[in-house]
Amino acid sequence: MLDLTTKETVERKALRINPAKTCQPIGAMYAALGVHGCLPHSHGSQGCCSYHRMQLTRNYKEPVMASTSAFTEGASVFGGGANLKTAVKNIFELYAPEIIAVHTTCLSETIGDDLKTIISQVQSDVPAGKYVIHANTPSYVGSHVTGFSNMVKGFVSYLSVNSGHKNGKVNILPGFIDPGDMRELKRILSVMKIDNILFPDTSGVLDAPMTGTFEMYPLGGTKVMDIIDAGNSKLSIALGTYSAEAAAIELEKKCKVPMKTLSTPIGIEATDRLISELALITHKAVPCSIEEERGQLVDLMLDSQGYFSGKKVAIYGDPDIVAGLTEFVISLGMIPKFIISGTPGETFTREINAILTTNEVEGAVVKSAADLFELHQWIKNEPVDLLMGNTHGKYIARAEDLPFVRVGFPILDRYAHQYFPIVGYKGAIRLIEMMSNAILDKIDRTCAEEDFELVM
Amino acid sequence: MKHIIDKVLEKYPAKTFKNRKQHIVIKKQDDDVLKITANTRTIPGMITNRGCCYAGCKGVVLGPIKDMIHIVHGPIGCSYYTWGTRRNKAKTEPGGQNYIEYCFSTDMQESDIIFGGEKKLREAITEAVEIFHPSAITISATCPVGLIGDDINAVAVWAEKLYGIQVLSFNCEGYKGVSQSAGHHIANNNLMKSVIGTGTKVPSKKHSINILGEYNIGGDGWEISRVLKKIGYDIVCVMTGDGSYEQIKNAHTAEVNLVQCHRSINYIAEMMDTKYGIPWIKVNFIGVSGTIETLRNLALYFDEPELIEKTEKIIAEEIAEIEGVMQFYKTRLEGKTAFIYVGGSRSHHYQTLLNDLGIETIVSGYEFAHRDDYEGREVIPDIKLDADSKNIEHMSVEKDEKNYRMILTPERYEKLEKVIPLSKYEGLFKDMKKNTVIIDDLNHFETEELIKALKPDMFFSGIKDKYVVQKMGVTSKQLHSYDYSGPYAGFRGALIFAKELTSGVHTPAWRFVTPPWKVEPLLEGKVVGGDE
């Protein structure tokens, strides 16, 4: 397994090996699927759309509907305006979405297609009350996380309006998390009786039930009218600097909705911050049921601490998720040793270093725009006790016989993850279950027979 | 059937209607001679299953070659999506390198797009050489590379000179052609130009073969090789499943090319015939009857009593091993109907296997085939090249005087081509039964409408439509990835397929789709407040 990965590290400036990121458009497609009645549209070659649909489907085991401008060499020379016009006409006739969310690709960005102008030119083919919006998502900037962020911002730019009628709601921008996480956020908000607009919302879309019929547009997703109305909310809370903040800033700029950025609520501390913030909004005590969940989590942390204490962890993935996990493993008494993100940007290293400094953790290696090849090399030089990240890490886990917890995007080789959260106290409880199982399974698998324990 | 198709088509806008109706044909009679439009542009907005030129070149043909470093020059996505996703399994050769678990990209950033990416590509090659010392490298171009004019061919020449290894460049930008097919062609051309025939192996004495267009999805190639080796064939190389650069270099030493996936590799088969005198046979290792027929054809090709006898002996052995269980699965599947839509050849091959199991295919189609894959190779001279096809180089080769061998005498050739598919592929249409539909470049709309109208018992396609159709209550299997199982080829593979298909059709979960309270009243009792 990964036999050609050398222990000796060589500095690389140009060659990316085994990336910990992919390109913007897939994030944009995922975000657009979180809007009810929306058909994501990829403005580029057919392959982009195909690849993104495939990978999202592999992740969620659900239909992922999206269309493409199907660029050929001609379109690449003359521009893709005519392709998009044809596409819009066909899509509304055949697939009748409420809204088409166009994202660009490296192809349409490189030739400089002006989507704003093209979209204004296709309005005659847009039925009354329906929308075509776009986001620029060049594949050569940022990562899939950037694409998600840009698409959410794109919806705001095109749709949200401050009509002057306050709706008394709170906008929650959940960032790039799974349907199970979005569902959990909605549950918490409902328990705390906070009238909200969660946007986007892929629950009910990418975890849709089997009913015997295919729904092109499943029941879930944020309604377009709610995105419009988001301009009238009293506050926006963005959960994550990388994947959620941009849309909240846009809402503030465009609609004067005040905003606040919090971390993705992974682990006890980040969830505490969210719940405290929400309690401030309601001016009420935190509901007993939430306190009960928190108490259960703390109970579990105490019960299981012996298996976590002092263990070294390597964490990789998307910045907002990795930040949450880093803070959480510290609260479990673990030592985050290698913390990387494939997504470029100094904000990540700044955020992680702040967490490490606050908690007086020393000797950790933190890097953005990193890849799994170098992470593996570091682990070869300094072994860790636990590896946490998306499916791609399974090769490293096997090569080095590491306990491995699948968390983040994508998870291609396990089932049912889209139904369960990693956010909130419940999500933290689930993370502890997964982490302790991984660690205990390895002990059971590798210990001497005389050390094999009935009770652990 | 015509009524059903008309109903589907009538919902299209006028221009789209005109286009799509040329891609859908109904076989009314068994001897119908049909014509179809294929390998033309997909209409934007249709929700096609098609991918791009890069996917066909790097994703399909080059990616499985395990002992080369495949560097994708472009933003990260294109390389990322072809990383481990096509299930072309590969084992490391003794002393060899295996890069199948790795993903290499130049991860182009905005500044590379603005100022050009050649420098970064050069650096990437240098780093790859320093870290891995590969015996060869490929460079695949993605969309922006062609647009900004990076000269990957010049970089390849530079790297070859500097590092003394082969560095092959492929201008397979995603926008070229109309589907993956263009990419197959581009990959074929350069493998033929630069790799095949460069090895130093001396042609072996007997029964040496190449297997072309076999990508070892789920280990298909290994199952095929197991049987072929048992009979006594010497497999020189497989293109490209579990493929080896070192072995492909010696492909010219084989005595015959077996062509499994006609669409993706027929160019190499043709060119090797012209250049080295190696004839090709169209084979089909999918389905027990297909495998038997192929093995017999191959034995006929060499025409030695001993080989023919050995072939029959092995066939009998293999059948004995699976017969009883196959028969059981047949009783569970017989009489069912299938809808099959795969890339370029599987939609044809798998009908043999389905037929063995008593399943009738009522709709089939290809994602990126050309007319010859439907109508047979004899139609090739009549195919008019459009602008998209003309942009793909049509390479022609000449006889290689040094390596050309007369493997079959003209007399023998003439005799053989009457009994086996020698340099011949008769296409999908011929094997479709009457009252069936054949669709080119199927889209989501047509899929949904036809599933509703025809209610097939099973659907075979890829990951993008698997769950769509499953939600409609029809068991759905991926024939690109075999639902992460396999092999499905050969004798043992057929058994695995039959077993999994049976479980897909009969899994208890189907019984629970409708909740019990939707079928019968939940509570029995009196209506309160009514007249007693």
B167, B243, B257, B176: which is closest to B210 by C-alpha? B257
Measured CA to CA, the distance from residue A179 to residue A163 in angstroms comes to 30
Q: Where are the domains of chain A?
A: 24-159, 170-282, 304-451
A396, A390, A405, A394: which is closest to A328 by C-alpha? A405
Does residue B434 lie in a domain region? no
- CATH number of the domain at B68, please: 3.40.50.1980
Residues in Cβ contact with B316 at an 8 Å cutoff, skipping those fewer than 6 apart: none
- Rg, chain B, Cα only: 25
- By the CB < 8 Å criterion, does A110 face chain B? yes
Residues in Cβ contact with B348 at an 8 Å cutoff, skipping those fewer than 6 apart: B284, B364, B373, B427, B428, B431
Please provide the DSSP assignment of B380-416 as one string: GGGPPP-HHHHTS--------TTT----S-HHHHHHH
Measured CA to CA, the distance from residue A256 to residue B142 in angstroms comes to 42
Does residue B61 lie in a domain region? yes
Residue carrying structure tokens 């091993």: B321
Confidence (pLDDT) at A172: 98
Residue carrying structure tokens 């286009």: B19
Does residue B447 lie in a domain region? no
Does residue B58 lie in a domain region? yes
- Rg, chain A, Cα only: 22
Confidence (pLDDT) at A16: 98
Does residue B396 lie in a domain region? no
A142, A146, A145, A120: which is closest to A131 by C-alpha? A120
**Residues B148-184: b if buried by 16+ CB within 10 A, e if exposed:** bebebeebbebbbeebebbbbbbbbbbbbbbbbbbbb
Own/partner pairs, B283-286, CB within 8 angstroms, 24+ separation: B283/B258, B283/B259, B284/B260, B284/B348, B284/B349, B284/B352, B285/B214, B285/B220, B285/B223, B285/B224, B285/B260, B285/B349, B285/B489, B285/B490, B286/B346, B286/B349, B286/B350, B286/B352, B286/B353, B286/B488, B286/B489, B286/B493, B286/B494
A72, A105, A111, A412: best to mutate for the B interface, most B CBs within 10 A: A72
Burial of B296 (0-12, 13-18, 19+ CB in 10 A): middle
Q: What digits encode the pLDDT tens for the residues B71-130?
A: 999 999 999 999 999 999 999 999 999 999 999 999 999 999 999 999 999 999 999 999
Which of A41, A45, A61 is the closest to B174 by Cβ?
A: A45
Query: What mean pLDDT is predicted for residues B407-417?
Result: 96
Does residue B85 lie in a domain region? yes
Measured CA to CA, the distance from residue A247 to residue A153 in angstroms comes to 4
Confidence (pLDDT) at B266: 98
- B448: which chain A residues are within 8 Å (Cβ-Cβ)? 214
Query: From the CB of residue B479, how many other CB atoms can be counted at a distance below 10 Å?
Result: 23
Does residue B169 lie in a domain region? yes
Q: Where are the beta strands (DSSP E) in A55-98?
A: 67-68
Q: Where are the beta strands (DSSP E) in A204-265?
A: 235-239, 259-262
Residue B439 β-bridge partners: B24, B365
Residue B104 β-bridge partners: A17, B71
Residues in Cβ contact with A64 at an 8 Å cutoff, skipping those fewer than 6 apart: A29, A33, A52, A53, A56, A57, A206, B464
Alpha helices in A174-267 (DSSP H): 179-191, 224-229, 245-255
- A86: which chain B residues are within 8 Å (Cβ-Cβ)? 43-45
Tokens of A439: 């660690």
CATH number 3.90.950.20 is the correct assignment for the domain at A24-159: no
Residue A16 β-bridge partners: B105
Looking at residue A109, its amino acid is E
Dihedral sign for Cα atoms in the order A55, A423, A33, A258: negative
Half-sphere exposure of B307 (CA within 13 A, CB side): 18
Q: What digits encode the pLDDT tens for the residues B167-205?
A: 999 999 999 999 999 999 999 999 999 999 999 999 877
Cβ B506 vs Cβ B333: under 8 Å: no
B532 pLDDT higher than 80? no
Cβ B187 vs Cβ B265: under 8 Å: no
Tokens of A114: 């002006």
- By the CB < 8 Å criterion, does B12 face chain A? yes
Looking at residue B412, its amino acid is R
Query: What mean pLDDT is predicted for residues B269-284?
Result: 98
B512, B529, B504, B489: which is closest to B224 by C-alpha? B489
Task: Kindly determine whether residue A51 and residue B78, on different chains, have CB atoms separated by under 8 Å.
Answer: yes
Cβ B214 vs Cβ B224: under 8 Å: yes
Number of compact structural domains in chain B: 1
State pTM to two decimals: 0.97
Tokens of B298: 């191959």
Residue B55 is a catalytic residue: yes
Interface of B with A in 147-206 (CB under 8 A): 147-148, 174-179
Q: What percent of chain B has pLDDT over 70?
A: 98
Burial of A300 (0-12, 13-18, 19+ CB in 10 A): middle
Tokens of B19: 């286009």
Confidence (pLDDT) at B528: 62
Task: Kindly determine whether residue B49 and residue A19, on different chains, have CB atoms separated by under 8 Å.
Answer: no
Measured CA to CA, the distance from residue A251 to residue A96 in angstroms comes to 28
Confidence (pLDDT) at B522: 64
User: Which CATH number is A170-282's, of 3.40.50.10140, 3.30.1540.20, 3.40.50.1980, 2.40.50.140?
Assistant: 3.40.50.1980
Measured CA to CA, the distance from residue B273 to residue B281 in angstroms comes to 11
Measured CA to CA, the distance from residue A192 to residue A167 in angstroms comes to 18
Which of A46, A73, A107 is the closest to B51 by Cβ?
A: A46
Measured CA to CA, the distance from residue A239 to residue A27 in angstroms comes to 16
Q: Please state, rounded to an integer, the average pLDDT across all residues of chain B.
A: 96
For A309, which DSSP code?
T
Query: Min CA distance, B284 vs chain A (Å)?
Result: 28
Does residue B238 lie in a domain region? no
ipTM: 0.98
- A391: which chain B residues are within 8 Å (Cβ-Cβ)? none
Which of A4, A23, A70 is the closest to B77 by Cβ?
A: A23
Confidence (pLDDT) at B520: 80
- By the CB < 8 Å criterion, does B105 face chain A? yes
Q: What digits encode the pLDDT tens for the residues B31-68?
A: 999 999 999 999 999 999 999 999 999 999 999 999 99
Query: What mean pLDDT is predicted for residues B313-324?
Result: 98
Q: What digits encode the pLDDT tens for the residues B223-255?
A: 999 999 999 999 999 999 999 999 999 999 999
- Residue B138: domain span: 53-174
Which of A23, A41, A76 is the closest to B76 by Cβ?
A: A23
Cβ B447 vs Cβ B465: under 8 Å: yes
Looking at residue B192, its amino acid is M
**Length reported for chain A:** 456
Residue carrying structure tokens 């521009």: A79
- B123: which chain A residues are within 8 Å (Cβ-Cβ)? 13-15
Pairing of strands B166-170, A67-68: unpaired
Cβ B361 vs Cβ B432: under 8 Å: yes
User: Which CATH number is A304-451's, of 3.40.1010.10, 1.10.275.30, 3.20.20.70, 3.40.50.1980?
Assistant: 3.40.50.1980
Confidence (pLDDT) at B525: 61
Express the helix, strand and coil content of chain B in percent, nearest 5 each: 45, 15, 40
B463, B475, B478: best to mutate for the A interface, most A CBs within 10 A: B463
Residue B262 is a catalytic residue: no
**Length reported for chain B:** 532
B78, B84, B66: which is closest to B136 by C-alpha? B66
Residue B286 sits at φ, ψ, to 5 deg, of -100, 125
Confidence (pLDDT) at B206: 84
Q: What secondary structure, in 3-state letters, does B57-76 show?
A: HHHHHHCCCCCCEEEEECCH
Dihedral sign for Cα atoms in the order B235, B241, B242, B248: positive
Catalytic residue among B52, B78, B90, B498: B52
Along chain A (456 residues), what's the average pLDDT of each consecutive run of 10 residues? 96 97 98 98 98 98 98 95 97 98 98 98 97 98 98 98 98 98 98 98 98 97 98 98 98 98 98 98 96 98 98 98 98 98 98 98 98 98 98 98 98 98 98 98 98 97
B524 pLDDT higher than 90? no
